[in-house]
C-alpha cells in the first residue's frame, strides 16, 4: 500500500464522490462467527438490496436510527443520479474488520451506466445480520500503461518463501490501487491467508497477521542501492506515510526492485552489498503507509524511491493457484509460491 506523494505534497488517493458514514452504535461483541463464504453471501445480499427495489430490506438490518435510514435513502438517490444503474460486477473482496468482534466487510467493484470509471461499494456487518456502514465511491483513473509490452531482463523469483496471496496486482484500478502511480503502475501487495482471512484474534496486533515477521528474500541478483531500517511499525488499522522500512536493489539494465513496509531493525543488508537470488533480506512488517502487515513489491527504471516508471514483472518458475508457471506476470486473487 505504498503511495507516491503528488507534486503538491499530498498523497494520491481515491476520489470520494458519495459516502455514507458509519453511525454511532453500541458494539456489544455479540454475533455469530462467519466463514469466508458466508461473508461473501451476506455482503452480496446487502449490496443487491441497496441497488434494487428492496432498499427497505436493507434498512431493516441497519444498526442505526431514523436519521441513518434517511441518509441511506439519500445515498441511493445520489448514486442513481451520478452513476446510473449497476451494469457489471467486476470483482469482490471480503474479510474481517480489524479490532471488531465478529465484524466483517464486503467490497464490490462494478461498472455503472453513467460513468466510465469503476465504482467501489463497501459495507460492514456482523454475524447477526446487522449492517453498520455503507459507502460508495468512484475510483480514480489509472496512470498510462506506457511500458505494457516491456519484458523483464533480470531473472526474478518471488521475494518470499511459502504460499502468499496477491492482495493487489494487475493493470486495473479495481484490482490494484497502485495503478494510479506511474512508478508503481505494476506493483503488488502480498499477504498470507488462512481459511480466507489474513489475521487471527481481533487483528489489532501485528503478530495476529499471518504474513507478519516472515522472511523476505532477494528476487534476483543485484546490488543494494538504499536501505531504510529505522521506521517504527504501525498498529494495525493505523498508518503513517511513505514506504516505511524498505530496500532498493539494482539488478542492472535499469531495473530496480523496491521492497517496502518491512519490520524495523530486521534488514540484514547494507548499501553497496551484492546480493544473490533468494538471499535473506529482512522480515515482513507493517511500517509506513500500511494499514496492516504486508509486503509491497515493484520493479521500476529509477534507483530513487517514488521516481521513474514502473516496469511489468515477469517472475520465473512459480506456482499460481496450483498451476506451474515457467515465466509470467501475477494477477490479483492468486495464491502464489516459488516452484
Cβ-count burial of 29 within 10 angstroms (0-12 exposed, 13-18 middle, 19+ buried)?
exposed
Are residues 210 and 129 part of one domain? no
Last residue of a domain, one of 103, 138, 173: 138
Residue 75 phi, psi dihedral angles, 5° rounding = -60, -45
101 — pLDDT class (breaks 50, 70, 90): confident
Are residues 272 and 177 part of one domain? yes
Q: Provide the number of structural domains found in the chain.
A: 2
Cα separation of 198 and 212, whole Å?
A: 10
Mean pLDDT value across residues 194-206 = 97
Number of H helices, E strands in the chain: 3, 17
Coil/strand/helix, residue 224: strand
What 8-state DSSP symbol labels residue 206?
Answer: G
Asked if the structure places residue 227 within a domain, the reply is yes
Cα separation of 112 and 149, whole Å?
A: 30
Please name which of 290, 282, 188, 190 lies closest in space to residue 233, comparing C-alpha atoms: 290
CATH of the domain at 179: 2.70.70.10
CATH of the domain at 73: 3.10.450.50
Residue 8's pLDDT is what? 31
Residue 64's pLDDT is what? 75
Asked if the structure places residue 149 within a domain, the reply is no
C-alpha cell belonging to residue 167: 492482495
Asked if the structure places residue 12 within a domain, the reply is no
Please name which of 13, 10, 31, 62 lies closest in space to residue 180, comparing C-alpha atoms: 13
Residue 290's pLDDT is what? 97
Lowest mean pLDDT among 23-32, 208-217, 277-286: 23-32
Asked if the structure places residue 201 within a domain, the reply is yes
Q: Chain-wide mean pLDDT for the chain? A: 91
Question: Positive or negative, the Cα torsion across 200, 201, 203, 205?
Answer: negative
* For residue 151, pLDDT beyond 70: yes
Instruction: Please give the model's pTM, rounded to 2 decimal places.
Output: 0.92
Question: What range does the domain containing 254 cover?
Answer: 164-338
Mean pLDDT value across residues 26-30 = 47
Amino acid at each position: 500500500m505504498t503511495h507516491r506523494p503528488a507534486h503538491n505534497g499530498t498523497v494520491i488517493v481515491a476520489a470520494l464522490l458519495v459516502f455514507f458514514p458509519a453511525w454511532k452504535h453500541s458494539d456489544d461483541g455479540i454475533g455469530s462467527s462467519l466463514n469466508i463464504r458466508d461473508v461473501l453471501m451476506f455482503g452480496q445480499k446487502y449490496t443487491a438490496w441497496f441497488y434494487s427495489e428492496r432498499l427497505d430490506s436493507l434498512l431493516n438490518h441497519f444498526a442505526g436510527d431514523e436519521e441513518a435510514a434517511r441518509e441511506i435513502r439519500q445515498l441511493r438517490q445520489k448514486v442513481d443520479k451520478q452513476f446510473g444503474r449497476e451494469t457489471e460486477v467486476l470483482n469482490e473482496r471480503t474479510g474481517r474488520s480489524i479490532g471488531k468482534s465478529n465484524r466483517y466487510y464486503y467490497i464490490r467493484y462494478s461498472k455503472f451506466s453513467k460513468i466510465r470509471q469503476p465504482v467501489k461499494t463497501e459495507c460492514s456487518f456482523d454475524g447477526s445480520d446487522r449492517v453498520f456502514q455503507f459507502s460508495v465511491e468512484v475510483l480514480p483513473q489509472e496512470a498510462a500503461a506506457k511500458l505494457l509490452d516491456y519484458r523483464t531482463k533480470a531473472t526474478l523469483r518471488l521475494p518470499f518463501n511459502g504460499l502468499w496471496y496477491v492482495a493487489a496486482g494487475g493493470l486495473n484500478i479495481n484490482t490494484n490501487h497502485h495503478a494510479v502511480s506511474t512508478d508503481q503502475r505494476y506493483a503488488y501487495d502480498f499477504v498470507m491467508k488462512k481459511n480466507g482471512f489474513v489475521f487471527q484474534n481481533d487483528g489489532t496486533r501485528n503478530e495476529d497477521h499471518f504474513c507478519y515477521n516472515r522472511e523476505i528474500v532477494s528476487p534476483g541478483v543485484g546490488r543494494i542501492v538504499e536501505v531504510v531500517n529505522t521506521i517504527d511499525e504501525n498498529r494495525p488499522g493505523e498508518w503513517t506515510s511513505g514506504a516505511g522500512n524498505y530496500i532498493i536493489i539494482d539488478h542492472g539494465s535499469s531495473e530496480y526492485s523496491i521492497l517496502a513496509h518491512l519490520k524495523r531493525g530486521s534488514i540484514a543488508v547494507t548499501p553497496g552489498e551484492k546480493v544473490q537470488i533468494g538471499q535473506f533480506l529482512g522480515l515482513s512488517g507493517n511500517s509506513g503507509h500500511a494499514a496492516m502487515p504486508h509486503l509491497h513489491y515493484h520493479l521500476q527504471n529509477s534507483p530513487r524511491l517514488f521516481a521513474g516508471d514502473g516496469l511489468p514483472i515477469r517472475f520465473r518458475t512459480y506456482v499460481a493457484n496450483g498451476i506451474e508457471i515457467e515465466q509470467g506476470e501475477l494477477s490479483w486473487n492468486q495464491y502464489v509460491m516459488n516452484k
